[in-house]
Amino acid sequence: MARISTLCVRESDDFRTTTPHQLPIYATSSFKLDSVEEGMEIFKDPSQGHLYGRFGNPTIDAVADKIARIEAHGTGITECWGIMTSSGMSAIATVLHAELSTGDQILTQGNLYGGTTELIKNTMSSSGVVTILTNLPDLNEVEIKLRDNPGIRVLYFETPSNPALDTIDIEEICKLARNYNVITIVDNTFCTPVLQQPLKYGVDYIIHSTTKYINGHGNSISGIVIGMGDENRNKIWKTMKLMGTNSNPWDAWLVNNGIKTLSLRMERHSQNGRSLASFLKDHPKVESVNYLGLEDHPYHELAKKQMNDFGGMLCFEVRGGLNAGIQFMNQVKMGTLAPTLGDIDTLIMHPASMSHLNIEPAIRKRNGITDGLIRVSVGIEHIDDLKEDFDRSLKALD
């Protein structure tokens, strides 16, 4: 019989007799092997079981599979997979490092999320990857860049873009990329698969910051890479494993809880977004409103074609520019000033001084990110409360 000190150290037996109703959190760094032979088989083929938390975890794998199945739902795609990472940025870094080598080129847009722009232009350039910027919604310009730059290996884009909401024809840009043997990667964070499913238009990889809408409650940091085919999965998994960009079971579990209301939340976000945008458009203190659901928006028809609804992201500029924008943000009560988006409550941000602070002003302005621009992630509060508060805050401007 083992002594007390040994009994304290050794793990208990697993007394589970029936399947838990909720996904368990597997808080373990490693997994017990029943034999040396079993370990050999798993080391040869990681799909045969779990070994170490950085390589895979049952909680994380279950959530990744769920998101991938939602992305592929109704598309006829059966070989879709997902690999969760420690953040949206780590998801982007993982797929770029998996697909790009020294001397390769990446074609992208100038109005990406500021952190992504910094990653591509600074960190990836230190690895010898060259960035080429163009106006991705202009497909003629895209083809010229692809034709004239045979070193382009990846075409990376956001649609809608953050925060300018430029929208790209996913189907047509993927056709172009395939013609030039170029890999396509899209950030689908703003839409989630509830509103947009890029896989059915031919995208190779989808990125999500699952921190945002997919979780929706602002209580975890994580990301995911979604793709098709065993070869691509193995490539991304090995890069994730070796770079250590893996997610953790607690954050994955929180994301799973958020997913349960994702469809309902995206419906309400979209309803509130449309209503608030229409209200702001007619307000005398507002210079302009940028929301895809407005019928006069230049990308309205394209968004209508490839999105199920228009989401909860909008931008607007108050009359008076930077100072008026700052005054508004300090006045508003129903909008939390925070450098994130996609939570159930309304969040506001000033891109020029926050997410795009480190982007050159000329590049910001060229891509529609003006000094007085305010980004709003419209929450699921009662819309009348939002309108009343925004109205009060706007009327209080000098």
In terms of Cα–Cα distance, which of 268, 207, 269 is closest to 240?
A: 207
pLDDT of residue 294: 98
Measured in residues, the chain has a length of 398
Name the token pair of 255: 């994301």
CB contact set of 389 (below 8 Å; sequence gap of 6+): 332, 333, 334, 335
Is pLDDT of 204 > 70? yes
pLDDT of residue 67: 98
Is pLDDT of 47 > 70? yes
Read off φ and ψ for residue 122, nearest 5 degrees. Answer: -105, -60
Q: What is the arithmetic mean of pLDDT over 172-184?
A: 98
Name the token pair of 269: 């976000």
CA dihedral 216, 217, 222, 228 (to 10 degrees): -20
In terms of Cα–Cα distance, which of 343, 348, 66 is closest to 216?
A: 343
Is pLDDT of 393 > 70? yes
Name the token pair of 67: 């998101």
Is pLDDT of 364 > 90? no
Is pLDDT of 371 > 90? no
In terms of Cα–Cα distance, which of 185, 281, 244, 215 is closest to 67?
A: 215
CB contact set of 364 (below 8 Å; sequence gap of 6+): 351, 352, 356, 370
Any idea what DSSP says for residue 247? Answer: -
Q: Which of 109-123, 135-149, 219-233 has the lowest mean pLDDT?
A: 109-123
Question: Taking all residues of the chain, what is their mean pLDDT, rounded to a whole number?
Answer: 94
Q: Are strands 336-337 and 347-349 parallel, antiparallel or unpaired?
A: parallel
Burial classification of residue 244, based on how many CB atoms lie within 10 Å of its CB (0-12 exposed, 13-18 middle, 19 or more buried): exposed
pLDDT of residue 356: 65
8 Å CB contact between 392 and 316: no
Burial classification of residue 64, based on how many CB atoms lie within 10 Å of its CB (0-12 exposed, 13-18 middle, 19 or more buried): buried
pLDDT of residue 7: 85
Edge-to-edge strands, sheet with 373-377: 286-290, 313-318, 373-377, 347-349, 336-337
Burial classification of residue 283, based on how many CB atoms lie within 10 Å of its CB (0-12 exposed, 13-18 middle, 19 or more buried): middle
At residue 212 the predicted structure's pLDDT band, cuts being 50, 70 and 90, is: very high
Share of residues in the chain with pLDDT > 70 (%): 99
pLDDT of residue 137: 96
* Distance in angstroms (rounded) separating the CA atoms of residues 34 and 56: 18
At residue 56 the predicted structure's pLDDT band, cuts being 50, 70 and 90, is: very high
Is pLDDT of 324 > 90? no
User: Where are the domain boundaries for CATH 3.40.640.10 in the chain?
Assistant: 36-259
* Distance in angstroms (rounded) separating the CA atoms of residues 377 and 170: 23
36-259, CATH topology level? Aspartate Aminotransferase; domain 2 (3.40.640)
At residue 87 the predicted structure's pLDDT band, cuts being 50, 70 and 90, is: very high
pLDDT of residue 301: 98
Is pLDDT of 14 > 90? no
pLDDT of residue 357: 72
Q: Which residue has the higher pLDDT, 344 or 42?
A: 344
Query: Hey, what CATH class is 262-395 in?
Result: alpha beta
pLDDT of residue 355: 64
Is pLDDT of 367 > 70? no
pTM above 0.75, yes or no: yes
User: Where are the domain boundaries for CATH 3.90.1150.10 in the chain?
Assistant: 262-395
Q: What is the arithmetic mean of pLDDT over 312-337?
A: 90
Q: What is the arithmetic mean of pLDDT over 12-30?
A: 91
* Distance in angstroms (rounded) separating the CA atoms of residues 279 and 288: 11
